[in-house]
């Protein structure tokens, strides 16, 4: 029996640093049946791949709780709380603790350090006159601060007992040592007011709470993009049944239902317009700022598609629902973004591995620091100062946040502009590409070819050739086939009945039709020259027919009953933005290659207009992936841009497969990157976003590693013998608090990323697929 692998997302509570991430991943990975467990510190989420025949969600939750954390299963997208709201709630809780800590830390510092600050204390609390009373007052002021930081102790010592020490452990041990040493000097054999370090413990807790508060606020801002998508989820809809309207919750909407959407209302589900006309604001999904016209189809044609979560701005629309709930475009976009943010790049895995051993190493360094200064003959208060400084300056949080927070911001703003990454690996791979291979039809060109001319052999009529070609192409989804059908409808031709239909991928189509001359049934082939040669039809072709086809035109040949009847010439204009997009690719240092099944002259015409110098023409669909492999075998990292359907093998073979075209079903499954807008310039934006995100990650990691590598030795006092400064524990705590904030703040700079793709395209052509 094979594995029944399922994926579950868990909301993890109680993580405070990257060490916690490693602990949770170990706990989940240790459960029998778990195939993969990835934990995101920035989102407080875990994604677990497990065999449902061996284990279950309850066992996974129990494993997390046994490691000292809390876990709650997220059953679907609607269950998931908005990340920004979670961070905002955490921020408010931390603020209440911070104000409590500051309220008692400030008078405690004034009391303890008053003489050094030139403040004369009353004789009845003077350290010289009343040392015990002086110490007791400090202790009383310290207790509320310790209560404000109680989570450091409960979590820190709990994880220590579970042999998974984390940042809380370092803070708890450092402050506990300061308080313990103070109590020893206050109640020991010899009362020593100079040995009170209550204010040190209090200020450390207050500063770390300050840093945590700022970090939570910054994380809230970092997750605003995904939260804005979650807020688009509709709650209600207006159901139309027998011309009567009724308001229902979105849970009661099913495919096939007819809904009415008034101006200013959110489109409740994916559907097709069956009545009315309006302009719909799709900026929240595609980044397109100009509302797009949506109308019902005319003369039996299908209406325009609308997407759930978009905003109806003007007229009243009536739609027939196609997809709802988890199958809707919005839900799939949210899943893609969340999955990308949950997956890890190799850089993130490396950082997590370091963080996994970071805290134990710091504990050893702190112990060695104390021993070294003890053997050096330093007094007890100096030994304590150096040891506590080492404990509190170390910051595993910065390591844990460096990668996920940058990915969260980068993928979030990408999603807001219609750029979706399948996973974090795709985001990382996109910045290293050497070559971009572009499909021609629908990518470089408009994808809406039009018939320009019909050539016929002697004895044939152009209308009859078009009739039979259109009849056969009715069952085809190819843009050329749809153009032939559209031309026949335009000329109001009556199409023969189709008895059989067979599509031959990369060649054309074949069908049996009725009504040609004396023959009751006629076999009709419509396709490229390769199809004609395969059927031995070109043996009787006049040499002059192919020479009549103008340069830059795409022909499809029509054969009836084994004899060539004619050729239909079609033109597909290059997109206006294609040449600009190609120039941007070249500016990024990429080599651009065109790949097409069309003939050489048609490919060269488009290449000349777009600025592409390298062409592979006449390529069959099954050979496209071989060309990708050919470039890869030479050591190039290849990106492939296509429509996600006909190019699926090539998209899968490429290092990064990029699908154009409003997020088709196949594209979202096969491509590494999906663009919701048919605009090549946004591919350049996506590649620049990938580079900016990876650069931001490297900056974060450099700061996180550099801070700890430099800060810990200074805190240990290694520079003191050489005349260097000694670092007070309070300064060490402040540096530690600011380190993680600086990492998050640097990641937030990605929110200012400039998207240069065009936004002037307004019209949305009516789709032909219902």
Which positions are annotated as active-site residues?
A: 439
User: Cβ(290)–Cβ(419) under 8 Å?
Assistant: no
Report residue 226: phi and psi, to 5°. -70, -35
DSSP, collapsed to helix, strand or coil, labels residue 765 as coil
d(CA 557, CA 636): 37
- Is residue 427 exposed (0-12), middle (13-18) or buried (19+ Cβ within 10 Å)? buried
Which tokens sit at 379? Answer: 């007094």
Token pair 């070249």 is found at 586
d(CA 746, CA 691): 15
> How far lies 219's CA from each of 85, 394, 748, in Å?
10, 21, 9
How many Å separate Cα 173 from the centre of its chain? 38
DSSP 329-373: HHHHHHHHHHHHHHS--HHHHHHHHHHHHHHHHHHHHHHHHHHHH
DSSP, collapsed to helix, strand or coil, labels residue 118 as coil
Sequence-ordered list of residues with C-beta below 8 angstroms from that of 151, at least 6 positions apart, any chain: 168
Select from 703, 720, 16, 714 the least CA-distant residue to 365. Answer: 714
H helix runs in 269-345, sequence order: 283-286, 329-342
d(CA 417, CA 755): 8
Q: Dump strand ranges (E) for 481-613.
A: 498-504, 508-516, 519-527, 554-560, 563-571, 591-595
Paired with 463 in beta bridges are none
Which tokens sit at 96? Answer: 């209440």
Which tokens sit at 302? Answer: 């299908």
Give the neighbor-by-neighbor strand order of the sheet with 591-595.
419-421, 673-675, 656-660, 638-642, 435-439, 591-595, 614-616
Which tokens sit at 696? Answer: 């931001």
H helix runs in 499-645, sequence order: 529-534, 543-547, 578-587, 600-610, 621-633
Residue 477 belongs to what H/E stretch?
none
- Is residue 498 exposed (0-12), middle (13-18) or buried (19+ Cβ within 10 Å)? middle
d(CA 686, CA 394): 36
> How far lies 485's CA from each of 126, 475, 488, 568, 612, in Å?
98, 10, 5, 12, 31
Q: Dump strand ranges (E) for 183-330.
A: 236-241, 244-249, 258-261, 270-281, 292-295, 305-306, 311-312, 317-323
Select from 370, 371, 363 the least CA-distant residue to 392. Answer: 363
Paired with 674 in beta bridges are 420, 659
> How far lies 454's CA from each of 468, 497, 557, in Å?
13, 22, 10
């Amino acid at each position: 029996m094979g594995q029944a692998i399922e994926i579950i997302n868990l909301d993890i509570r109680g993580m405070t640093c990257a060490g916690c991430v490693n602990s949770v991943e170990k706990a989940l990975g240790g459960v029998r049946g778990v195939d993969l467990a990835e934990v995101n510190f920035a989102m407080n989420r875990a994604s677990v791949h497990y065999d449902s025949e061996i284990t279950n969600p309850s066992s996974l939750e129990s494993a997390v709780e046994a490691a000292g954390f809390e876990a709650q299963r997220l059953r679907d997208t609607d269950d998931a709380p908005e990340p920004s709201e979670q961070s905002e709630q955490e921020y408010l809780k931390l603020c209440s603790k911070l104000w409590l800590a500051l309220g008692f830390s400030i008078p405690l510092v004034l009391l303890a350090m008053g003489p050094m600050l030139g403040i004369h204390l009353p004789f009845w609390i003077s350290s010289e006159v009343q040392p015990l009373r002086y110490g007791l007052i400090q202790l009383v002021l310290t207790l509320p601060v310790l209560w404000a930081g109680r989570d450091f102790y409960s979590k820190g010592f709990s994880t220590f007992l579970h042999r998974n020490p984390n940042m809380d452990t370092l803070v708890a041990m450092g402050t506990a040592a300061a308080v313990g040493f103070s109590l020893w000097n206050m109640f020991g054999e010899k009362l020593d007011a100079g040995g009170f370090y209550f204010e040190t413990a209090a200020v450390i807790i207050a500063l770390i709470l300050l840093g945590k508060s700022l970090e939570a606020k910054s994380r809230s801002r970092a997750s605003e993009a995904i939260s804005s998508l979650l807020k688009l989820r509709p709650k209600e809809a207006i159901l139309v049944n027998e011309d009567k309207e009724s308001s229902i919750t979105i849970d009661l909407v099913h495919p096939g239902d007819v809904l009415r959407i008034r101006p200013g209302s959110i489109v409740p589900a994916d559907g097709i317009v069956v009545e009315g006309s309006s302009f719909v604001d799709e900026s929240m999904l595609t980044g397109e700022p100009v509302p797009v016209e949506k109308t019902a189809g005319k003369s039996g044609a299908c209406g325009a598609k609308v997407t759930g979560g978009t905003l109806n701005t003007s007229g009243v629309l009536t739609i027939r629902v196609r997809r709802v709930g988890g199958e809707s475009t919005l839900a799939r976009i949210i899943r893609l973004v969340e999955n990308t943010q949950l997956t890890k790049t190799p850089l993130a895995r490396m950082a997590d591995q370091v963080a996994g051993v970071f805290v134990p190493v710091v504990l050893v360094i702190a112990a060695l620091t104390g021993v070294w200064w003890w053997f050096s003959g330093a007094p007890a208060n100096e030994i304590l100062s150096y040891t506590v400084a080492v404990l509190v300056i170390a910051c595993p949080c910065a390591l844990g946040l460096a990668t996920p927070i940058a990915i969260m911001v980068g993928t979030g703003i990408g999603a807001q502009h219609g750029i979706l990454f399948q996973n974090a690996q795709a985001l990382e791979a996109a910045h290293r590409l050497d070559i971009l291979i572009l499909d021609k039809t629908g990518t470089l060109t408009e994808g809406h070819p039009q018939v320009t001319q019909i050539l016929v052999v002697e004895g044939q009529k152009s209308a009859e050739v078009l009739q039979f070609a259109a009849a056969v192409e009715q069952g085809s989804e190819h843009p050329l086939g749809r153009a032939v059908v559209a031309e026949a409808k335009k000329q109001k031709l009556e199409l023969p009945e189709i008895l059989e239909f067979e599509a031959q991928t990369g060649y054309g189509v074949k069908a049996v039709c009725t009504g040609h001359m004396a023959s009751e049934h006629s076999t009709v082939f419509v396709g490229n020259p390769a199809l004609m040669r395969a059927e031995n039809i070109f043996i009787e072709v006049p040499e002059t027919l192919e020479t009549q086809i103008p340069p830059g035109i795409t022909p499809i040949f029509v054969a009836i009953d084994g004899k060539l009847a004619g050729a239909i010439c079609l033109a597909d204009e290059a997109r206006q933005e294609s040449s600009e997009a190609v120039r941007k690719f070249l500016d990024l240092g990429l080599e651009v290659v065109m790949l097409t099944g069309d003939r050489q002259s048609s490919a060269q015409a488009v290449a000349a207009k777009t600025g592409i110098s390298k062409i592979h023409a006449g390529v069959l669909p099954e050979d496209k992936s071989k060309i990708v492999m050919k470039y890869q075998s030479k050591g190039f990292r290849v990106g492939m841009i296509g429509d996600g359907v006909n190019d699926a093998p090539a998209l899968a073979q490429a290092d990064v497969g990029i699908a154009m075209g409003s997020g088709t079903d196949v594209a979202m499954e096969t491509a590494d990157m999906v663009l919701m807008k048919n605009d090549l310039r946004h591919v350049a934006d996506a590649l620049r976003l990938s580079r900016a995100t990876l650069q931001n990650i490297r900056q974060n990691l450099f700061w996180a590693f550099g801070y700890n590598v430099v800060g810990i030795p200074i805190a240990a006092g290694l520079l003191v013998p050489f005349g260097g400064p000694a670092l007070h524990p309070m300064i060490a705590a402040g540096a530690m608090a600011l380190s993680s904030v600086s990492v998050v703040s640097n990641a937030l700079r990605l929110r200012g990323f400039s998207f240069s793709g065009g936004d002037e395209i307004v019209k949305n052509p009516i789709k032909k697929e219902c």
